[in-house]
């Protein structure tokens, strides 16, 4: 019987010829990581297991990014805990602030994950790496502790949903974020619960690796266990430049079994906006243009990559951020930050009147660097607009891609790059 | 594991991990601290009103969002004995079992139960009795290895036994 990419990767890591959806397996892990929020809990649990060292010092990674550089004393304490653990265990991959960035931007950028890997991270957006043809999924701190100790973990092989995107969008600003928002809008926040979302079709083939990472990043917002995209030439050239280890390419068989196939034609798709308080509450941007905003955030593991910043800068260049708006731009990693400095993007953002921050999760989860007051509204390129996600429980977050967020920063309300082009300021 | 008994606290569907425990409290991971802020944007001062053993009843996709294990920890340490929901988000479900918080799937119970009702949950048989309305529901029981994890008090005690056996 045919297998999907996900099934093939899991079978290989379980030492089996074949697996089927629903089967319980133990899979070998190629990378296990946690951050400053989930790490301390994982370390506490790890210490109770009764082993003295992690299974492989080169495959366990700790990264301070959520509340780092530390926003307050308790956060500093949490950052210190993961740093100490990394030193004690002599982990190869520990990165201090200033040498890393947001985990899901940094890990693929550095070639620490490659096609064919099985990865767990104590962070729900670990599903991001599926864009490279790896199986990756978010777990809690206890599972992570066991992964660090044993180098393997149990999984139930997920059913797969195939999502085929046809066509070429007529609107040049429509990209990965709009696709994934449209998909979540269609299938709902539990539309892929416990399942694999396998993305395919010509619209996916046309996307950059960065835009594909944006899509698999948000698979969790439909409840999925993982998102995955078959590697192609673009993937291979992305990986070749950075891989720190050997990779293995898998493709789904023609007769692989899918629980469901969802097809969407993107030809006439408009940029999408997810209204509060669920990522599935999506509407075309034309239905959002009377929403006034107080803050625009461009960044996060969803849209903090080079391509995202470039798009935002193109729109903001020569314009000023609306007088009543705070625009906050956060490059995903130090490398992206440096490139943005060298290539003049920073100048554009600062001249427009935006704040530019060091890489951090910051406002995405209501940490710091742009918390919303009661009644305030933000448009944001992040991935969740739950109640209170970016601050006060009575604030609101509207999710969009970088083009709409940048345009909205200038307009003072949700809007499009076309409207900015006609704008005097 | 014993039969659980308590009064019902009811929440709607798609209750996410930010609502269970907001990120503003994630600069610490002490369960007692987390429990103080459990579900506070839905039930202010829950921790002062809850009685140990009370049961949280929720709609579909409970615990969606982040992987923070702080969410099931907050629920457990706030005093809830278990959660009964239509269904759960994947990571939350796994985390709950791993830390020893029983999570039961029973759409029928959710539909027929009101806040304040008294429930009795028999985990092994999968039987849920609404003492207030005198109705009984059969839920799916947990797969044996998950039941074993719960009985051992969570994944860590379960795995450390295996580690000892390996040595
Ligand atoms: S940027 Fe936001 S969603 Fe991504 S890892 Fe950080 S907090 Fe989580």
As beta bridge partners, residue B20 has none
pLDDT > 90: percent of chain A: 99
CA distance A306 to A333: 9
Contact (CB<8Å) A74/B28: yes
pLDDT digits (tens, 9 = 90+) for A33-63: 999 999 999 999 999 999 999 999 999 999 9
Best of A142, A150, A219, A364 to disrupt the B interface by mutation (most B CBs within 10 Å)?
Answer: A142
Of the candidates B90, B94, B98, the beta carbon closest to that of A193 is on B90
Pick A186 or B161 by higher pLDDT.
A186
Q: A187 and A331 share a domain?
A: no
Q: Give the pLDDT confidence of A69-92 residue by residue, as tens digits.
A: 999 999 999 999 999 999 999 999
Give domain status of residue A301, yes or no. Answer: yes
| Ligand 1 within 6 A of CB of A305 | no
Distance to chain B for A46, nearest Cα, Å? 8
A241 in a domain, yes or no? yes
* ipTM associated with this complex: 0.94
For residues A223 and A364, membership in a common domain is answered with no
Q: Does the pLDDT of residue B132 top 80, yes or no?
A: yes
Per-residue pLDDT at B5: 97
Domain holding A336, by residue range, is: 273-421
Res. B163: pLDDT tops 90: no
Do A258 and A305 lie in a common domain? no
Tell me: do A232 and A331 sit in the same domain: no
Q: Do B156 and A49 touch (CB under 8 A)?
A: yes
Looking at A263, A295, A321, which one is the last position of a domain? A263
What's the mean per-residue pLDDT of chain A?
97
Contact between chains at B27 and A386 (C-beta distance less than 8 A): no
- Domain residue limits at B98: 3-166
Same domain, A104 and A220: yes
pLDDT at B166: 75
Given an 8 Å threshold on Cβ–Cβ distance, is A49 in contact with B61? no
A259 and A282 housed in the same domain: no
**Which 252-281 residues of chain A touch chain B by CB within 8 A?**
278
Token reading at A177: 């974020």
pLDDT attached to residue A4? 98
**Lowest-pLDDT range of A250-264, A363-377, A407-421, B135-149:** B135-149
CB nearest A123 (choices: B67, B70, B157): B67
- Is position A322 within any domain? yes
Res A262: pLDDT: 98
- Within a domain: residue A231? yes
What integer pLDDT is reported at residue B167 of this predicted model?
64
- The residue whose CB lies within 8 Å of the most ligand 1 atoms, and thus the one to mutate among A36, A71, A104, is A104
- Domains of chain B: total: 1
Q: What span, in angstroms and rounded, lies between the C-alpha atoms of A387 and A372? A: 12
pLDDT above 70 coverage of chain A, percent = 100
Mutate-to-test residue for ligand 1 from A100, A107, A123, A331, highest number of ligand atoms within 8 A of CB: A123
DSSP state of B15: -
Residue B1: pLDDT over 80: no
> Which comes out higher in pLDDT, residue A138 or B142?
A138
Please indicate, yes or no, whether residues A256 and A297 belong to a single structural domain of this protein.
no
List the single residue in B26, B64, B87 with the smallest CB-CB distance to A189: B64
Domain boundary among A238, A263, A288: A263
Model confidence at A264, pLDDT cuts 50, 70, 90, reads very high
Q: What is the pLDDT of residue A1?
A: 83
CA distance A59 to A148: 9
Q: Helix (H, G, I), strand (E, B), or coil: what is residue B7?
A: strand
Residue A425 has pLDDT above 80, yes or no: no
- Convert the pLDDT of each residue in B27-75 to its tens digit: 999 999 999 999 999 999 998 999 999 999 999 999 999 999 999 999 9
Which chain B residue has its CA at the smallest distance from A190's CA? B61
Which residues, other chains included, contact A272 with Cβ-Cβ below 8 Å and sequence gap of 6+?
A177, A178, A181, A182, A185, A282, A283, A284, A285, A400, A401
Q: Does A123 touch chain B (CB under 8 A)?
A: yes
Among candidates A80, A78, A125, which has minimal Cα distance to A105? Answer: A125
Same domain, A78 and A220: yes
List residues of chain B with CB under 8 Å from any CB of chain A.
14, 16, 18-19, 22-24, 26-29, 41, 60-61, 64-70, 72-73, 87, 89-91, 94-95, 98-99, 145, 154-157, 159-160, 163-164
For B54, residues 6+ apart whose C-beta sits below 8 A from its C-beta are B6, B7, B8, B9, B79, B80, B81
**CATH code, A395:** 3.30.499.10
- Residue A397's pLDDT is 98
Q: How, if at all, do strands B135-138 and B127-130 pair?
A: antiparallel
Ligand 1 pocket residue status of A102, Cβ below 6 Å: yes
Contact residues, chain A, for B154 at CB < 8 Å: 142
A223:B28 CB<8 A = no
The C-alpha atoms of residue A338 and residue A148 are separated, in whole angstroms, by 33
Statement to judge: residues A257 and A277 lie in one domain? no
Q: What is the 3-state secondary structure (H, E, C) of A299-358?
A: CHHHHCCHHHHHHHHHHHCCCCCCCCCEEEECCCEHHHHHHHHHCCHHHHHHHHCCEECC
CA distance B4 to chain A (A): 24
* A114 and A258 both lie in a single domain: yes
Q: In this structure, is residue A268 part of a structural domain?
A: no
Question: Does residue A361 belong to any structural domain of this protein?
Answer: yes
Partner-chain contact A140 B67, CB within 8 Å: yes
Residues on chain B touching A388 (C-beta within 8 angstroms): 18-19, 22, 41
Of B29, B61, B156, which is closest to A142 when you measure between CB atoms?
A: B156
Distance from CA of A193 to the nearest CA of B (A): 7
Does residue A42 sit in the same domain as residue A130? yes
Residue A204 has pLDDT above 80, yes or no: yes
- Name the residue at shortest CA distance from atom 6 of ligand 1: A361
Number of domains in chain A: 2
Q: Is residue A21 part of a domain?
A: yes
CA atoms within 13 A of residue A233's CA, in its CB half-sphere: 2
Q: Is residue A51 classed exposed, middle or buried when 0-12, 13-18 and 19+ CB atoms within 10 A define those classes?
A: middle
Identify the domain boundary among A231, A263, A295. A263
Mean pLDDT (chain B) is 94
**Per-residue model confidence (pLDDT) at position B16:** 96
Query: Is residue B77 scored above 80 in pLDDT?
Result: yes
Q: What is the pLDDT of residue B164?
A: 84
pLDDT at residue B159 above 70? yes
Q: Which residue of B has its CA nearest to A145?
A: B156
A11 CA → ligand 1 middle, Å: 30
Helices A334-342 and A345-352, axial angle in degrees (round to 10): 80
A301-305, B67-71, B94-98, B158-162: segment of lowest average pLDDT: B158-162
Closest to A46 (Cα-Cα) out of A151, A156, A164? A151
Are residues A196 and A92 part of one domain?
yes
Q: What is the dihedral of CA A379, A187, A34, B41, to 10 degrees?
A: 60
User: Which of A50, A194, A366 lies closest to B163 in CB terms?
Assistant: A50
pLDDT in tens, A285-320: 999 999 999 999 999 999 999 999 999 999 999 999
pLDDT tens profile B120-130? 999 999 999 99
Span from the CA of B8 to the centroid of ligand 1 (angstroms):
33
Evaluate whether residue A203 is within a structural domain.
yes
Pairing of strands A24-28, A152-156: antiparallel
Q: What are the backbone dihedrals phi and psi of residue B47, each rounded to the nearest 5 degrees, phi first?
A: -65, -20
Our CA angle for A283, A287, A292, nearest 5°, is 105
Mean pLDDT of A160-178: 98
- Is the pLDDT confidence value at A184 over 70? yes
Tell me, what CATH number does B25's domain have? 3.20.19.10
């Amino acid at each position: 019987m045919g297998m999907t990419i996900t099934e093939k990767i899991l079978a290989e890591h379980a030492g089996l010829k074949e697996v089927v959806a629903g089967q319980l397996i133990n899979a070998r892990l190629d990378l296990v990581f946690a951050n400053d929020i989930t790490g301390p809990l994982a370390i506490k649990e790890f210490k109770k297991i009764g082993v003295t060292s992690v299974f492989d010092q080169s495959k366990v990674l700790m990264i301070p990014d959520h509340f780092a550089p530390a926003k307050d004393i308790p956060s500093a304490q949490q950052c210190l805990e993961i740093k100490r653990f990394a030193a004690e265990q002599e982990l190869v991959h520990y990165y201090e602030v200033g040498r890393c960035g947001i985990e899901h931007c940094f890990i693929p950028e550095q070639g620490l994950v490659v096609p064919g890997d099985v990865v767990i991270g104590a962070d729900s957006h670990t599903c991001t790496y599926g864009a490279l043809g790896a199986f990756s999924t978010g777990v809690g701190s206890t599972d992570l502790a066991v992964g660090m100790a044993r180098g393997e973990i149990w999984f139930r092989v997920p059913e797969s949903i195939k999502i085929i995107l046809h066509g070429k969008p007529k609107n040049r600003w429509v990209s990965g974020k709009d696709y994934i928002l449209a998909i979540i809008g269609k299938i709902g926040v539990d539309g892929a619960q416990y399942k694999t979302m396998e993305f395919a079709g010509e619209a996916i083939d046309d996307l950059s690796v960065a835009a594909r990472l944006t899509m698999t990043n948000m698979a969790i917002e439909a409840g999925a266990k993982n998102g995955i995209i078959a590697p192609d030439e673009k993937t291979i050239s992305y990986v070749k430049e950075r891989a720190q280890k050997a990779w293995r390419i898998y493709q789904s068989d023609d007769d692989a079994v899918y629980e469901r196939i969802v097809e969407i034609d993107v030809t006439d798709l408009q940029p999408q906006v997810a209204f509060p308080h669920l990522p599935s509450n999506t509407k075309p941007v034309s239905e959002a243009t009377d929403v006034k905003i107080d803050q625009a955030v461009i960044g996060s593991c969803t849209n903090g990559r080079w391509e995202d910043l470039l798009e935002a800068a193109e729109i903001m260049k020569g314009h000023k951020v609306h007088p009543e708006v705070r625009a906050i731009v956060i490059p995903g990693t130090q490398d992206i930050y440096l490139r943005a400095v060298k290539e003049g993007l920073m100048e554009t953002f600062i001249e427009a009147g935006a704040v530019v921050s060091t890489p951090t999760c910051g406002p995405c989860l209501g940490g710091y660097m742009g918390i919303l007051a009661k009644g305030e509204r933000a448009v944001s390129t992040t991935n969740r607009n739950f109640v209170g996600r970016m601050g006060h429980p009575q604030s609101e977050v509207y999710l969009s891609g970088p083009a709409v967020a940048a345009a909205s920063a200038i307009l003072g309300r949700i809007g499009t790059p076309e409207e900015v082009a006609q704008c005097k300021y | 594991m014993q039969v659980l008994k308590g009064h019902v606290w009811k929440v709607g569907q798609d209750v996410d991990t930010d609502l269970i425990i907001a990120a503003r409290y994630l600069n610490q991971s002490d369960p007692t601290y987390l429990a103080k802020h459990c579900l506070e944007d839905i039930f202010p001062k829950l921790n002062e009103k809850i009685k140990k053993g009370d049961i949280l009843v929720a709609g579909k996709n409970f615990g969606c969002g982040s992987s923070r294990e702080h969410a099931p920890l907050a629920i457990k340490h706030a005093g809830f004995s278990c959660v009964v929901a239509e269904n759960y988000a994947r990571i939350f479900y796994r985390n709950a079992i791993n830390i020893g918080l029983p999570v039961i799937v029973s759409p029928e119970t959710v539909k027929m139960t009101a806040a304040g009702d008294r429930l009795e949950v028999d985990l092994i048989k999968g039987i849920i009795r609404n003492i207030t309305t005198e109705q009984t529901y059969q839920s799916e029981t947990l797969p044996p290895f998950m039941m074993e994890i719960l009985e051992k008090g969570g994944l860590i005690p379960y795995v450390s036994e295996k580690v000892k056996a390996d040595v």
